[in-house]
Amino acid sequence: MIMSSDFASRLREIRIYFDMSQRKFADMVGIPAASYRKYEEGREPPLSVANKIANNDKCSQFGYWLLTGELPSHGSQGTPSEPIEHHKLLSQDEVKSMFIDKSADTVALFLDMDWFIANPEKSVDLRDCGRLLLKELSPFLTQQEEAENIVKIK
């Protein structure tokens, strides 16, 4: 991937990514088209304008890159040539099923490593172990979700 080296070319790259004319893009980000044209030609925009573009709802995924020319270390933003993939959210049932399967796999690993030994006189369904873990951990997971939601509200 070749990243643009200056603000003007990064700005142009974002506009092309959205397949918009300069006028439409300027309207979308809320700046005059004549000013926008100058920014794409190399004129340095005021910081307030650069922030307005970078923080626009549609452009924010490229905000850090637009302003710095670098990708952030936390990986929540991209460039027009390498946008962040948005993953579909899983349903609650899908998450539960995945948790149960992963827990069963982990218990099987523990057994294979002789961390504990199954009672040979009892038949054990490892998915039942996963279900039990889910049941026991659900209150903690719910509590964590509620705490995260409170932080988001503040």
pLDDT of amino acid 86: 47
3-state secondary structure 14-74: HHHHCCCCHHHHHHHHCCCHHHHHHHHCCCCCCHHHHHHHHCCCCCHHHHHHHHHCCCCCC
pLDDT of amino acid 87: 44
Phi, psi dihedral angles at 103 (to 5 degrees)? -65, -45
Q: What are 106-132's pLDDT values in tens digits? A: 888 888 888 888 888 888 888 888 898
Report field, pTM of the whole predicted structure over 0.75: no
DSSP H helices, 63-125, are 63-68, 92-112
pLDDT of amino acid 26: 95
Helix (H) or strand (E) holding 147: helix 126-153
Residue 52 region, left (φ>0) first, then alpha (ψ -120 to 50), else beta?
A: alpha
pLDDT of amino acid 75: 53
pLDDT of amino acid 96: 85
pLDDT of amino acid 76: 54
- Neighbour tally for 54: CB within 10 Å: 20
Low-confidence ranges of the chain (pLDDT < 70): 1-5, 72-90, 144-154
